[in-house]
Chains A and B, each alone.
Chain A
Amino acid sequence: MLEIVGLHSRYGLAHILHGVSFAAAAGEVLVLLGRNGAGKSTTLKSIIGLVRPAAGRVRFDGVDVAGWEPHRIARAGLGYVPEDRRIFADLTVAENLLVGRQPARPGLAPWTEARLFALFPNLATLRDRPAGRMSGGEQQMLTIARTLMGNPRCILLDEPAEGLAPVIVAQMAQAILALKAEGVTVVLAEQNLHFAASVGDRAAVIETGRVIWSGPMAALQGDAALRAAHLHL
């Protein structure tokens, strides 16, 4: 579904990604695990095209989309949910969803406002509220719902549980599993191993801009030495 090969990215003179490689199979939840500053966010931004990769391939459904404009990549079926949410604060919930709307894709039931409100019940009552006047958890749900309006076949989530209350985190995990059940491929950037383990099928551990380990989630959980070396603070 999504195959990243030797991705390099820079911000000006700072070389952030040094050849990131991993792959996510159709319908699975792949967790990109790493500490702060490891390169998780830059990897996701490089995939969606907000950061133009200096080298490497981003193969989506067999097509190399590296270097495309972000809107073309999004239209190809890749959805992106940024870490800092970036909701349109002056627009209502319904208008935020409208901005994300894209044509339906063959083989996937198209997302509608009603289906998204079923997935995130909190949003239903806030339909006409300006997004800037919602809680952090509600904004996080909105930003995922907004991206789903584009009917992506693969969605990139950047630390969706960060800074949220435990009850909301649990809802978020539910939502991710619901997406998986819909057949959406999920790439989740995360530093919280506990949350990652609750939703992930496989993991890729990233450190200083390189993937240093990848394999089944269960294998990572069984390898205390690996976790201690690369994930614990």
Chain B
Amino acid sequence: MDAILIQLLTGLAGASSLFLVAAGLTVIFGVTRVVNFAHGSLFMLGAYIAWSILVHLPRAPGWHAAGVLLAALATAGIGALLEIGLLRRLYRAPELLQLLATFGVLLVVQDLTLLLWGPNDLALPRPSWLRGSVAIAGARFPAYDLLLIGIGPLVLAALWLLFSRTRWGTLVRAATQDREMVAALGVDQSVLFTTVFALGAGLAGLGGALALPDGSANLQMDLTVITDAFVVVVVGGMGSLPGAYLAALLIALLQAFGVMLLPNATLVLMFVVMAAVLAVRPHGLLGRALAPARGEAQATALIRPASPALRGLGLAVLALAMAAPFLAGPFVLSVLTEALVAMLFAASLHAMMGPGGMASFGHAAWFGIGAYAAALAAKGLLMPMPVGLLLGPLLAGAAALAFGWFVVRLSGVYLAMLTLAFAQIVWAVAFQSDLTGGDNGVLGIWPDAWAQDPRVFYALALVLCAGGTLGLRRVLFSPFGYALRAARDAPARAEAIGLWPARLRLAAFALAGAAAGLAGAVGTYSKGSVFPTTISISRSVDALLMVLLGGVQTMSGPIVGALAYTGLYDVLIRATDLWRLCLGLIIIALVLAFPQGIAGAAARDRTA
């Protein structure tokens, strides 16, 4: 009983921290409709700034509180600069490109933090009042955690007052519903957006500063926190503050008690709950269906078959690729094989994202299932390579079919988040299971004797990956592909002419999963090993980057994007330690310069 009480209190303290971050994220999303990937970075900056301030202040509680508030204010200022310098230029861009830009910010902040504060975790020397504890039910409970338990509801109440009792709050709520109308009534939106962003950033900074005494400021906190915050915001309902608190409570209690009951499954548990909530309530606990924020351009470009010139170029590239074994050495061939795998991976995501209208945050799941299926077929079942290459897409496609049943009923951000949840479940299984070798992965998977020669394996990869990509293209220009796009653009009308949108989307989802699985299987034999990182969030983001860089509304986009991205990545990693900074800046610059992607921009220039 006592242990339960202590876990309950631990859970409540965790809920407060989670809520602070999630509240900022949800407020920013509500008004600007930007899903801010860099929100975790603001949390991290809050912690680092608080550390820098607090080590110079006297250790008394009053000074500590002042330092924490100062850190929150500084983070709010950084948020305002970020909004003015970057996001303001992107409000009319498609939401996934906004996401991409904020991911660029995340990369930049990671390297800047490393440069400014160094690689070591920074813990705060804890004065006695921070180390104190209170006797509760015979156990010692940290006094600081009790403080945290109080802060969460306090902040919720303060935000409620701010949004319901002030003109600014009323304007923000009005802008959440119809920002164009708010502008037509004489309200300067840019001031509103900047202040909202600053508030959200300040809340993230406050969360980071408050989390400091219980841990340390470290370079991993941004991604950890953003994943948790995404889950909380989505479970609670995007844009809903009470929902965020409720979800923070649910997730934090789940984590606190999960540690007691299922210590090995805490990672999975959080995402299982999220998937369950979204399956029952597709818009989260207290969320509502989002009307598209009025006042943004949402015209989707038409996808047209390639022009003769582009076809010619494609054929030339293909001919060059076929000639490569006679021109290049083993190293170049292995790099090219990687590029081919990336191309099919990107093309498979594009198929569901562009024509299917389903943007996935967890596309690495299917790639990973394919990779592990091939690896386990080779190492566990001692099967020859063709079996592995067949099992990869089959299993990935089957898993996508089963999981797709939940997914295809959702749309937009919720769909993206559910796919992320599923990818995290697959990742956690791979990471925590003995069958998959856990963190050590599966090693020593090599092609069969007949394909050991890098030239032969390259040729095989070319046939499978280029064939797969062209096959996807063929499908998307078939009647099925047109029906899919009809279901994307006008579900009700598609249904009225006898199409079945949910089934079309499910078929596209499974097809994309199978293609990604094939890419994963080829990649496994090419690399000789597979690790849980294959399924990590950053791998999913890689795929998104490739597609978005290339442009969603072109068929050549994912190909161009995959080649550009893998090339860029290789060059940067070789050239500099600050590759995150460079990659982040390049992503931001590309998004600002080509809001429709590289291939999309080329297509636009042709028509203009």
Contact string against A for B residues 277-308, beta-carbon threshold 8 Å, 1 for contact and 0 otherwise: 00000000000000000110001000000000
User: Is the CB–CB distance between A90 and B181 below 8 Å?
Assistant: no
- A229 to B171 CA separation, bound complex (whole angstroms): 46
Q: Which of A68-76, A179-187, A189-197, A203-211 is found at the contact surface with chain B?
A: A68-76
B283 to chain A, nearest CB (A): 15
- A50 to B179 CA separation, bound complex (whole angstroms): 11
Q: A12-B299, A71-B189, A88-B177 are in contact. Are A80 and B170 (CB under 8 A)?
A: no
- A44 to B187 CA separation, bound complex (whole angstroms): 18
- A100 to B186 CA separation, bound complex (whole angstroms): 7
Indicate whether A146 reaches chain B with its CB closer than 8 angstroms. Answer: yes
List chain A residues, Cβ under 8 A from B185.
71, 74, 99-100, 102, 146-147, 150
List chain A residues, Cβ under 8 A from B115.
none
List chain A residues, Cβ under 8 A from B171.
99
- A102 to B188 CA separation, bound complex (whole angstroms): 12
User: Is the CB–CB distance between B183 and A98 below 8 Å?
Assistant: no
- A198 to B183 CA separation, bound complex (whole angstroms): 31
Other-chain contact of A91, B174, B189, B294, B299 (Cβ < 8 Å): B174
Indicate whether A178 reaches chain B with its CB closer than 8 angstroms. Answer: no
User: Is the CB–CB distance between A88 and B174 below 8 Å?
Assistant: yes
Q: Which chain A residues numbered 126 to 180 have a C-beta less than 8 Å away from chain B?
A: 146-147, 150
User: Is the CB–CB distance between B184 and A88 below 8 Å?
Assistant: no
- A195 to B536 CA separation, bound complex (whole angstroms): 64
Contact string against B for A residues 86-122, beta-carbon threshold 8 Å, 1 for contact and 0 otherwise: 1011110001101111100000000000000000000
Q: A150-B185, A150-B186 are in contact. Are A50 and B173 (CB under 8 A)?
A: no
User: Is the CB–CB distance between A99 and B180 below 8 Å?
Assistant: no
List chain B residues, Cβ under 8 A from A12.
299
User: Is the CB–CB distance between A48 and B174 below 8 Å?
Assistant: no
User: Is the CB–CB distance between A99 and B182 below 8 Å?
Assistant: yes
- A96 to B173 CA separation, bound complex (whole angstroms): 10
B84 to chain A, nearest CB (A): 16
List chain A residues, Cβ under 8 A from B183.
50, 69-71, 74
User: Is the CB–CB distance between A89 and B177 below 8 Å?
Assistant: yes
User: Is the CB–CB distance between B187 and A71 below 8 Å?
Assistant: yes
Indicate whether A82 reaches chain B with its CB closer than 8 angstroms. Answer: yes
Size category of the B interface is 20 to 34
By beta carbon, the residue of chain B nearest A81 is B184
B185 to chain A, nearest CB (A): 5
Other-chain contact of A102, B186, B189, B295 (Cβ < 8 Å): B186
User: Is the CB–CB distance between A50 and B170 below 8 Å?
Assistant: no
Q: A12-B299, A70-B180, A90-B177 are in contact. Are A75 and B186 (CB under 8 A)?
A: yes
A189 to chain B, nearest CB (A): 15
Indicate whether B95 reaches chain A with its CB closer than 8 angstroms. Answer: no
User: Is the CB–CB distance between B174 and A70 below 8 Å?
Assistant: no
List chain B residues, Cβ under 8 A from A102.
185-186
Q: Which chain B residues numbered 162 to 176 have a C-beta less than 8 Å away from chain A?
A: 167, 170-171, 173-174
List chain A residues, Cβ under 8 A from B294.
86
- A83 to B90 CA separation, bound complex (whole angstroms): 28
A133 to chain B, nearest CB (A): 14
User: Is the CB–CB distance between A74 and B186 below 8 Å?
Assistant: yes
Contact string against A for B residues 355-370, beta-carbon threshold 8 Å, 1 for contact and 0 otherwise: 0000000000000000
B301 to chain A, nearest CB (A): 11
By beta carbon, the residue of chain A nearest B295 is A50
Other-chain contact of B174, A49, A75, A99, A147 (Cβ < 8 Å): A99
A192 to chain B, nearest CB (A): 24
User: Is the CB–CB distance between A82 and B189 below 8 Å?
Assistant: no
List chain B residues, Cβ under 8 A from A150.
185-186
By beta carbon, the residue of chain A nearest B191 is A71
B249 to chain A, nearest CB (A): 24
User: Is the CB–CB distance between A91 and B178 below 8 Å?
Assistant: no
Q: Which chain B residues numbered 517 to 549 have a C-beta less than 8 Å away from chain A?
A: none
By beta carbon, the residue of chain B nearest A96 is B174
Q: A91-B170, A98-B170, A99-B171 are in contact. Are A71 and B188 (CB under 8 A)?
A: yes
- 17 new A-B contacts, CB < 8 A, other than A82-B181, A86-B181, A102-B185, are A48-B184, A71-B184, A74-B183, A80-B184, A82-B184, A86-B178, A89-B177, A90-B173, A95-B173, A95-B174, A96-B174, A99-B187, A100-B185, A100-B186, A102-B186, A146-B185, A147-B185
B residues with CB within 8 A of A:
167, 170-171, 173-174, 177-178, 180-189, 294-295, 299
